[in-house]
């Protein structure tokens, strides 16, 4: 054994490998995630309110039945933590502070104090730059797949409900009175002025901010939603808020998926269990026809608008940005040039023209495939994004 190998073997920081293959770093990430404190709750966290049925399962202390892949969620958590810690140290924002009222308990991502409220705290706890109005912020990480939806529509109803619950608790009660933030709890109920969503693209790092004026009525509606969940005798009394596995990612990765969508054979969609009689079939057929009609009308509308826009220049028009791709010279394989290359390279020329075989011959010989312009243009593809 070499000295280097002996050092690694006896190092307290070394990690065992199997057959010389390094362990997956995700194993470590999953182990850390598994050690996060979890308990059966009698009070919901605002982040648990994404779905009424799921919230009811949690509130009633139901044991999770499914353990979906958590890598995307863990990655989002790591990004989330790093960004919030940077905001805490650089901007002196209040980060991950505990809030509690009679309905929910949790940690709000960011509170940026206004000047009047900050003046009631010791100087070391004041933000570097106060907000013009007291702002409650929620940071969300999103994939590129969902990014266009974020830019176009902003926060979902569930995301709005979550931050409204946090803001409502701060508005009515203030920060929770617990060690480490008692100086904040002494502020009492806060005059919330704004809700802010900060969306981060997990793939590109792009940032999108959405701000909404705080409305106590909206917060009260979110609280009423939680009250409905708390009044249930069992979780099944709460309706499902999504269309189920294979249709909504919330359901695909739900820890209660098998409990919420039971009773179908392998390979059969879980939604098939919703059909119990001919009346259900009749309604499903009505829904299908309605959906087909809406899709057909939508397709006709898009095609008509596309033809009208055919000669329009790129630019921003109201809420949308128009751009184009395509419209380039169209090319195809040049058969005559390939025959010449075969002869020059000493490769047998197929007696019957066979483009695919000649392309393979030239690739195997490490030669470039000759192309020629057809005189046509590739189709122009329209691209419409939020301005």
Cβ–Cβ under 8 Å, residues 251 and 269 = no
Q: Is 199 helix (H, G, I), strand (E, B) or coil?
A: strand
Highest mean pLDDT among 33-47, 183-197, 254-268: 183-197
pLDDT surpassing 90 at residue 207: yes
Could you report the per-residue pLDDT of 329-358, keeping only the tens digit for each?
777 788 788 888 887 888 887 766 678 888
Q: How far apart are CA 365 and CA 32, in angstroms?
A: 52
- Comparing CA positions, the residue from 379, 62, 53, 373 lying closest to residue 242 is 53
Q: Which residues pair with 377 in a beta bridge?
A: 329
What pLDDT score does 286 carry? 93
E strand map for the chain: 94-100, 105-112, 135-142, 194-201, 207-213, 315-317, 320-325, 329-333, 371-377, 381-386
Give the model's pLDDT for residue 9: 44
How far apart are alpha carbons 219 and 161 in whole angstroms?
8
pLDDT for 42 equals: 52
Give the pLDDT of residue 72. Answer: 80
Long-range CB contact pairs, 120-126, < 8 A, 24+: 120/187, 121/183, 121/184, 121/187, 122/183, 125/92, 125/183, 125/184, 126/92
Beta bridge mates, 136: 111, 195
Is 39's pLDDT higher than 50? no
Average pLDDT of the chain? 86
- Which pLDDT score, from 0 to 100, does residue 353 have? 66
What the block records as the tokens of 169 is 């608790």
Residue 251 has pLDDT above 50, yes or no: yes
According to the model, what pLDDT value does residue 36 have? 67
Weakest mean pLDDT among 96-110, 122-136, 288-302, 363-377: 363-377
Question: Counting beta carbons within 10 angstroms of the beta carbon of residue 72, is it exposed (0 to 12), middle (13 to 18) or buried (19 or more)?
Answer: middle
| Distance in angstroms (rounded) separating the CA atoms of residues 209 and 81 | 18
How much is the average pLDDT of 49-69? 90
Name the band, by pLDDT with cuts 50, 70 and 90, for residue 37.
low
How many CA atoms within 13 Å lie on the side-chain side of 135? 21
Per-residue model confidence as pLDDT tens digits over 148-174 = 899 989 999 999 999 999 999 999 999
Residue whose structure tokens are 């090319």:
331
Q: Would you say 74 and 30 are in contact if contact means Cβ atoms under 8 Å apart?
A: yes
Which residue is associated with the tokens 């209660």? 256
Q: Enumerate the domain spans of the chain.
A: 33-237, 271-308, 329-386
Instruction: Count other C-beta atoms under 10 Å from residue 107's C-beta.
Output: 14
CB atoms within 10 A of CB 327: 10
Helix count (H) and strand count (E) of the chain? Answer: 14, 10
> What are the pLDDT digits (tens) for 304-320?
999 999 999 999 999 88
Name the pLDDT band for 20 (thresholds 50, 70, 90): low
pLDDT of 10 strictly over 60: no
What tens digit of pLDDT does each residue of 262-307 get? 877 888 899 999 999 999 999 999 999 999 999 999 999 999 999 9
Highest mean pLDDT among 13-22, 274-283, 362-371: 274-283
Kindly report which listed range (32-36, 46-50, 104-108, 305-309) carries the lowest average pLDDT score: 32-36
For residue 242, give the DSSP letter.
S
The highest-level CATH class for domain 33-237 is alpha beta
pLDDT exceeds 70 at position 38: no
């Amino acid at each position: 054994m070499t000295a280097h190998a002996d050092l690694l073997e006896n190092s307290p920081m070394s990690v065992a490998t199997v057959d010389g293959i390094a362990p997956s770093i995700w194993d470590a990430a999953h182990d850390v995630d598994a050690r996060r404190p979890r308990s059966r709750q009698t009070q919901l966290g605002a982040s648990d309110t994404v779905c009424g049925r799921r919230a009811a399962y949690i509130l009633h202390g139901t044991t999770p039945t499914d353990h979906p892949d958590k890598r995307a969620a863990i990655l989002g958590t790591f990004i989330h933590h790093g960004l919030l810690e940077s905001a805490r140290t650089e901007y002196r924002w209040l980060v991950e502070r505990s809030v509690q009222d009679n309905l929910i308990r949790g940690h709000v991502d960011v509170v940026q104090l206004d000047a009047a409220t900050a003046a009631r705290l010791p100087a070391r706890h004041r933000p570097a730059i106060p907000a013009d109005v007291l702002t409650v912020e929620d940071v969300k990480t999103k994939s590129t797949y969902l990014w266009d939806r974020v830019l176009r529509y902003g926060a979902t109803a569930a995301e709005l409900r979550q931050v409204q619950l946090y803001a409502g608790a701060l508005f009515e009660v203030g920060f929770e009175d617990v060690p480490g933030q008692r100086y904040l709890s002494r502020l009492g109920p806060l005059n919330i002025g704004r809700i802010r969503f900060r969306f981060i693209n997990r793939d590109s790092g792009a940032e999108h901010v959405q701000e909404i004026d705080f409305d106590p009525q909206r917060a009260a509606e979110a609280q009423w939603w939680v009250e409905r969940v708390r009044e249930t005798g069992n979780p099944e009394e709460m309706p499902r808020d999504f269309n189920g596995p294979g249709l909504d990612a919330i359901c695909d990765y739900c820890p209660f998926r098998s409990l919420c969508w039971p009773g179908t054979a392998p390979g059969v969609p879980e939604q098939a269990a919703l059909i119990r009689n001919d009346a259900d079939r009749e309604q499903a057929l009505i829904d299908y026809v309605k959906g087909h009609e809406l899709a057909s009308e939508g397709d006709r509308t898009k095609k008509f608008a596309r033809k009208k826009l055919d000669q329009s220049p790129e630019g921003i028009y109201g809420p949308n940005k128009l751009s184009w791709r395509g419209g380039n010279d169209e090319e195809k394989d040049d058969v005559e040039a390939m025959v010449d290359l075969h002869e020059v390279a000493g490769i047998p020329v197929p007696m019957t023209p066979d483009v695919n075989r000649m392309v393979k011959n030239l690739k195997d010989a490490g030669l470039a495939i000759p192309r020629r312009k057809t005189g046509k243009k590739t189709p122009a593809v329209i691209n419409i994004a939020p301005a």
